[in-house]
Structure 1
Amino acid sequence: MHTYLIEDKAMSEAVLEPPIEESAIAPELPKPGGIAGRKKALLIWGGAAVLVVLLGLGVRYIFWSAHHETTDDAYLAGHLHPISARITGTVQQVLINDNQHVVEGQTLVILDPNDYKVRLEQAKAALDAASRRADTAEAAIRSTSQSATAQTTQAQGSIGEAKASIQAAKAAVTAAEAGVPRAHAQLQEANATLQREETDLHRYQDLYSKEQVSRQTLDHQRASYQVALAGQAAAQDQVRQAQAQLVAARQGVVRTEAQLTNSEGGLQSAQATVLEARVREGQFAIAQAAVAQAEASLQNAKLQLSYTIIKAPVSGRIGRKSVEAGQRVQIGQPLMAVVEDHPWVVANFKETQLAKMRAGQHVEVLIDTFPKHKFYGHVDSLAPGSGNEFALLPPDNATGNFTKIVQRIPVKVVLDDDSVRGYENLLSPGMSSVVTVTTR
C-alpha cells in the first residue's frame, strides 16, 4: 500500500510542477518487501528439506526396526568354577594372585603332602602283606589239591585190590571148605582099608601059625598093612592140611576185608583232604578279596595324595580368592573361583520381540564398559521359559486379581572370537550391554 501512495503522490507532483531533467531525478530505492520474501522462501524450503530428511529417517527406522530387535536388559555371563579342598590339610603354597589369568591344569594351591605320603606307604605295605598271604594260600591249595588227588587215586586203587583179594580169599575158602570133606572121606577110606588089612594080617598070622599059609603070603599081607597104615597117616595129613587151608582161607578173607576197610579209610581221608582243599580255596578267595581291598586302599591313598595339589579345571581368571599359606582347610571349603574364558551374553527380550528370532541370527552388542567398541556374535539359543518360571517362587495367576505383564525370555548370544580379540581379559560376567539382533 505504501508503494501505491508514493506513486500517486509522484503523479500529482508531475502535474503541478514543471518538468525537470532526467539527470535531476533521484535514484530508485530498493523495495523493502523483496528481502523478506526471499527469507520466507528459504525458511519454507529449509523446513521442507528437514521434513524430507525426517521423513526419510522415519521410513528408514521403520524398515530397520522391522528386521531388528533391541534390548538393554542384557549382561555378560560365564562359567564360574568354584575351587574347593577335596581333603583336609594345611596350605603349604599359594601360587596365584587375585584376578590372575590361569590356564587349564595350572597348579593353584599345594597342601602339605607328608601325612598322605605316610598313608600311601602304609597302603603299599598292606598290599604287599595281602599279596603274600594270597600267595601262601594259593600254594597251600596246590599242595592240598595234589595230595588229595594222590590219596584219592591210591585209596581207590587199594579198594579195588582189596575187593579183588576178598573175592580170591572167598574163593579159596570155598575151595578149602570143599577139600575138608574130601580129605575126611579119604581118611575114612584109609581107616577102612587099614582096618581090613589089619584084620587080614591077624587072620594070616593065625593061618601061618597053623602053617596053613606060607611065610611069603604073611609077609605080603604085612606089607599091605603097612601100606594101609601109611595111607591112613597120609589121609590124616590131608585132613589136617585141608583144615589148615580152610583156616588160612578164612583168615585171608578177614585180612583182605581189613585191607578193604583200611583202603576205605584212606579214601575217606583223601575226601577229607579234598574238603580241606576246598576250605583253602575259600581262604584263597578271602585272601584275593583282601588283595583287591588293599589295591583299592592304595589307589585311594594315591588319589588323596594327588588332591594335595589343587589345579585349575579350566582356563580363566581367578576371583574371590580366600586362601593363604598356613591356613588349615577342610573338605569342601571354598578357596577361590575360576571365571572361565569365553563369556557370552544373556539378553532378556520381551516375548513380543521373539516372533522372528531364531538361532544363528547376527547380533550386535554394545557393552557399557566399552561404548566405542562393537562386539558381534550370533544367537545361540532361546530359553525354554521366562525368567519368572525359573524363579524360586513362581507366580500363581490362578488366584486374585490379574494384571498382564509382558514377560521376558532370556536369549543366549555367543560372541565371535574376532570381535572379542584384545578384550579377552577385560570382559567380566555381569557387565551390562545393549543387544541388537538382526531377525532377517
Structure 2
Amino acid sequence: MSEFATQQIQAGYVPGTPQHSAVPPIYQTAAFQFASLAEAADLFALRKSGNLYSRNASPTQQVLEERVAALEGGVSAVAVASGQAAVAVTLLAIVGVRGHIVAANQLYGGTVDLFQDTFEDFGIEVTFVDQDDAEAWRAAIRPETRALFAESVANPVAQVLDIRLVADIAHEAGVPLVIDNTVGTPYLVRPGEHGADFVVHSATKFLSGHGTSLGGVVVDQGTFDFGAQPERWPQFTAEYKRVPGLVLWERFGIGQAFAALVKSKYVHDLGPSLSPFNAWQILQGIETLDLRVARQSSTAFAIAQFLAQHPSVAHVNHPGLEGNRWHDLAGRYLPNGVPSVFSFDLAGAEDEGTQERIARVIDSLKVVRLVANIGDARSLVAHPASMTHSHLNAQQRSAAGISLNTIRLSAGLEDPRDLIADLEQALARA
C-alpha cells in the first residue's frame, strides 16, 4: 500500500477510464498525462492530435467546438474565453500584423474599440464602410487587405447584412469573409450557407443564454483556400517558425489549418483560454437554443409592434416590421424569425435634456433590467451612446444608426405582457 501523501493525490482515479456519462463531463484539469515521452513529443510537434494543456484546449471545450461547428455547418471550431477574444484571435491569425481589414460601420462598440485602437497598435489598419453600400466595400479593398468583417445582424440597430453580396465581393478580391453571428444565432441564420468563410460568436450571449459564463467560438467553414495564393498567407503555407520542417497547410489542410494556427500560436501565446466549467455551462445552454431563441424572437416582435405605435417612441429598428429598411433582407436570410435584439429611439430633440429623459425611462423599468449584455433569459436594456458604444464619436454613432435617443432592448423569456406593461409605465415618464 502507498503512503498517505501518495494516496491523497492518486487514490481512486485512473486516467483514461471511461465512465459513459450521458452528459459531457467537466474535465476540470490544468494538464493531461501522456502515455509516453514519445507521445508527448509528437503532440508538442503537432505530429499527433490530442490534449496537451488546458490553456490550448480541454475535452469539455472540444465537445463545445464540435457542437457549434455542427450547428453552423462548419468543419472545425476554436473556443476561447470571450467573444472579444474570438474576434481578436480570428483576425490576428488571418490578417497578421501590418495587414488591412475592411469592416462594416455597424458593429458592436467593443469590436470597434478593438479595431480602431488595439489593432492600430499592432499595425493592422481597418477601413469602416456602410455595410449596405456594395461599392464602398469594393473601393476600400487594397492589395494588403486580408479579410472583410461584418455582423449578420448588427448590434444594436438589427440591421440585416446582405451576406451573399459581401461574400461575393470578398471572394472577388481573394480574401475571406468573417461574420459575427452572435445576434443572428445559428438557429436563425447560418452565414456559411450564404458565403461566409469564418463565423464568430460571443457564446456569452444566446449560446449560453443565462448570463452566467463568458465564452467565444470561431467556426471555420472549410471554404477558404489559403493555398490558392500561398504568398499572401505565409502563416499557413510557409514553414511554421516554431515547429521546424512543418507547414500547417500541408499537415492540416483546408478547414483544419486555421484552428491549428489559432490554438498553437494565438491561444497558446496570448492565453485567452476557455475554462472547462464555462465550456460545460455553454453546452447546457445550447441544448435549449432553438426553444429560447424562438420564444425571444416572438416576444421581441410583439414588443416592437407595441413600441411602433407609442407616442413617446420616434422610431423602432426592428426588421420584422413592415416598412423597415431591412425587412426584405430579413425575409431572405431569417426564415425562422428575426433576432430578439433591436433598438428604438425616444421622441424628442437631441439636446441637453436627452440624457435625463433617457434616464427617467430606463430607471423606471422594473421587469426589464439595465445590464450590458444581450441574449439572456432576462430582458435587458442598455443606452448605447453612454454604454456599449460610448467610445465612438458622434459621426461613428450616426454611421452605426445610433443617436443619443437610442435604447437597445434584448427580449428575454418573461411573459411578453409583463414586459410591455413595464415599458408602457416607463415610457409614460418620457
Higher relative contact order (CA 8 A, sep 6+): 1
TM-score, normalised with respect to structure 1: 0.20
The higher radius of gyration belongs to 1
Structure that is richer in strand per residue: 1
Structure whose residues are more often helix by fraction: 1
